[in-house]
Structure 1
């Protein structure tokens, strides 16, 4: 009895400590364990090995996400009573990318969070032997998903990413430092060329195979795997080193997270809210099912995934929690205040309208990256067709289904665990896009000219030539069209916003923000503890292996 009361007191302290009241919760998480998205040329486990196809959620992945759902239920329903014990459509909304593994992950999380309640009031059980109920998950096509697709739907992001591999000092130095290793791995894996850019062609299937305890070739020993994982982590961090790339990949998402909190403030304070916005953001829990790229881009905006940070790229079912609190307000006040007024007014208030009251609101951010415990029936050798002879490990698991094992993230300027809402908005709003769709469609020539290594005088020569070629090609196309079709319909020209500099943010070089560009000690960024002379292996076989030229897209 004493332990029960102590547990209750602990969780009351979490959600009501010093008159802090949890008002809304936003969770962004990665899908669970999956089969590889691709296989490398000399992979012993080709695509036929994976019975359900490439890039698909596995049984382990389903159970990882189910456990994440039970974790959310224990933390925010059973112990804090923030969420209802059963599913309520007005309380939660879920969005996923339009990919099988994220859609299935969303359903798996919801199965753990909201098993059907068969109480007298609810009567949600519709089949006695099935502990599941359908809950809607929303999505949109990938090519128009600027919220969760983390740059993959953005042509300008892809253009800038290509420039990193050829122009960034750290990327160039890594390719030089590990040239011998990369040549060796090229011969063994068949990935041609093998460099920091194409690293994932080998690393992605390697991670999946090791996760499933499949035997790796002898040339992939523990030392080599550890180094590849560190370089894989560095590769992710380079993708989001520049402010503009953070904006293009996760600016829309962090803006929506702030909007969710702002609407909640307007609701509490009695300000007018448009019915459209209230309907979209009224829920207590917003959940987003995404990818490692979704989380790494967001962590970069939060200053938690920098070149020098200890945080690694997200593992399966990793999650970021945004808890939004009010302070010094009783539940009785909030309840009566919300009922007394008409929420649905056509006037939509701005941030400035409630600025004076925002001092009463705070944000706590948690990150969970440790892999959750697999169910025991998946650890039996009968579940695995092959054993990992080298006993290679990727990440030591965190055991215990109720151990949430969250890490508190603090933004610069937030001295306490409760970050003032105004401080939070001031920091992340620097990465808000003005119009994400327009910004993503900027012309390549403009991004080329804004690159730090290109001369503007050259661009003034190249751009007119490029423009003249476009005019000639368009004229030729119109002539051919006019011959074939007598009636020509005229189209409108789209507006083109000027492109902000790739590495300039608000008129300041990014080196002022991170201190990482042109760092004389940047060699230490990719030094791997305990690994020496890896760039000059003496026993690498140089056998000739066939390969192909391929570069993977971002893992979405």
Structure 2
């Protein structure tokens, strides 16, 4: 002390104690991005197929039907999705000096994993065969919304069928006509006179309805368990593994289709009702928070001119705690897809067949046992009697 005044000012004391606290307290962990899953639709392609009266047949598409126009992770087994995966990977991972094998080629090979179309139970939707799903679709066709939509568009569908040469054109198949016209218009081919802007717009609306028919309108949660919930279950499994293991890949990419995106987003109940455009991408980001817990954020990129749209899982904030994300999506996650795909009557029939088989087996064993006893009795020689051993006692 000097002159009755403290040698420490209030500010100096505060700074001293703050420094002591910082030395004693462990440093706060910054929020970090731990894992990303991407599901995107393939890029621009030619029509999948066309209609009989189309003036632009397959010979006008140098790459053939259903192929990307400019450019072959997990992907469905289609050229357009495999090529999209390769193109995206080429942009994401240009080779460094050690990875470059040709100075004139700024590319390095990266594997893309796939399975045959008939065996794909993850990305090719709708998944099948699934009798229960087909039953739900038949029930959907009986709903008032579907019936009214059919009546309202009967004359329009007849006109389109007559102009295209297609037979049995329905709300579920008319999307093919829109797809063909859209691809042709995108690539500068002239449309037939009947395909006015109003007609194309009408076809676009029916195309969007067909997506809703596949995965919603009726018993959406049940459909999700048999369709998009299968893919969502795998994504959730990956998120959980990444939260508990540092050995899991940091980025997982699925290259697939518009139906894949719709199936997933309908299961999550975040679908905006519109077809996903080319190269649109649904993103899952797994973060580790400052307190060590994990959270999930979702985004949907459907435009190159705008930032991705934040997607909010119903019942949770955008930064959704992982445990809440798992809890809220549990109702649409199948426990046993093969079993849930069976019809109730099929399950009952199977149980009856199994019970009859068990009873039959037991009866057969009893008959065999009875015959064996009878055979042994008949095999004993005449006059033979079994005499028990006796011991003489004094």
> Normalising to structure 1: TM-score of the pair?
0.54
Displacement of 1:19 after TM fit? 3.6
CA distance in 2, matches of 1:99, 1:438: 29
- Correspondence for 2:377: none
Displacement of 1:246 after TM fit? 1.4
SS of aligned partner of 1:320: strand
- Correspondence for 2:82: 103
- Correspondence for 1:412: 314
Q: Deviations along 1:497-524, whole A, 9 cap, x unmatched? A: xxxxxxxxxxxxxxxxxxxxxxxxxxxx
CA distance in 2, matches of 1:237, 1:134: 38
Q: Deviations along 1:404-458, whole A, 9 cap, x unmatched? A: x21000011223x311112211121211112224444x259659xxxxxxxxxxx
- Correspondence for 1:169: 144
CA distance in 1, matches of 2:104, 2:56: 37
CA distance in 2, matches of 1:246, 1:149: 14
Match runs of 1:130-529 below 5 Å: 130-156=105-131, 159-160=134-135, 162-163=137-138, 166-241=141-216, 242-267=220-245, 282-305=248-271, 309=272, 311-328=273-290, 360-370=293-303, 372=304, 398=305, 405-415=307-317, 417-440=318-341, 442=342
CA distance in 2, matches of 1:226, 1:23: 43
CA distance in 1, matches of 2:35, 2:135: 35
Please tell me whether Structure 1 or Structure 2 has the larger radius of gyration of its CA atoms: 2
CA distance in 2, matches of 1:161, 1:35: 32
- Correspondence for 1:117: 96
CA distance 1:55–1:406, shift in 2 (3 Å): same
- Correspondence for 1:126: 101
Q: Deviations along 1:67-87, whole A, 9 cap, x unmatched? A: xxxxxxxxxxxxxxxxxxxxx
CA distance in 2, matches of 1:104, 1:25: 21
CA distance in 1, matches of 2:316, 2:162: 49
CA distance in 1, matches of 2:226, 2:187: 34
CA distance in 2, matches of 1:446, 1:206: 43
Displacement of 1:154 after TM fit? 3.3
CA contact (8 A) 2:137 2:214 kept: no
CA distance in 1, matches of 2:164, 2:234: 42
Q: Deviations along 1:47-86, whole A, 9 cap, x unmatched? A: 2222222111111xx4xx9xxxxxxxxxxxxxxxxxxxxx
Asked if 1:44 corresponds to 2:55, the answer is yes
CA distance in 1, matches of 2:278, 2:222: 27
CA distance 1:47–1:131, shift in 2 (3 Å): same
Flag as ranges the 4+ runs of structure 1 deviating above 4 A: 443-447
CA distance 1:46–1:157, shift in 2 (3 Å): farther
CA contact (8 A) 1:365 1:409 kept: yes
Equivalent of 1:26, from 37, 42, 48?
37
Q: Out of 187-196 and 162-171, give the one that drifted further.
A: 162-171
CA distance in 1, matches of 2:345, 2:52: 34
Q: Deviations along 1:440-491, whole A, 9 cap, x unmatched? A: 4x259659xxxxxxxxxxxx9xx99xx99xxxxxxxxxxxxxxxxxxxxxxx
CA distance in 2, matches of 1:315, 1:251: 22
CA distance in 1, matches of 2:201, 2:88: 31
Unaligned runs of 5+ in 1: 1-17, 66-93, 269-277, 330-356, 373-397, 448-459, 469-556
CA distance in 2, matches of 1:197, 1:28: 25
CA distance in 2, matches of 1:101, 1:161: 31
Q: Deviations along 1:139-188, whole A, 9 cap, x unmatched? A: 11222211111224433376247515632322211110122212211211
CA contact (8 A) 1:320 1:367 kept: yes
Displacement of 1:41 after TM fit? 1.4
> Normalising to structure 2: TM-score of the pair?
0.75
Q: How many matched pairs? A: 321
Displacement of 1:286 after TM fit? 0.5
Displacement of 1:115 after TM fit? 1.0
CA distance 1:158–1:141, shift in 2 (3 Å): farther
CA distance in 1, matches of 2:162, 2:194: 11
CA distance 1:328–1:166, shift in 2 (3 Å): closer
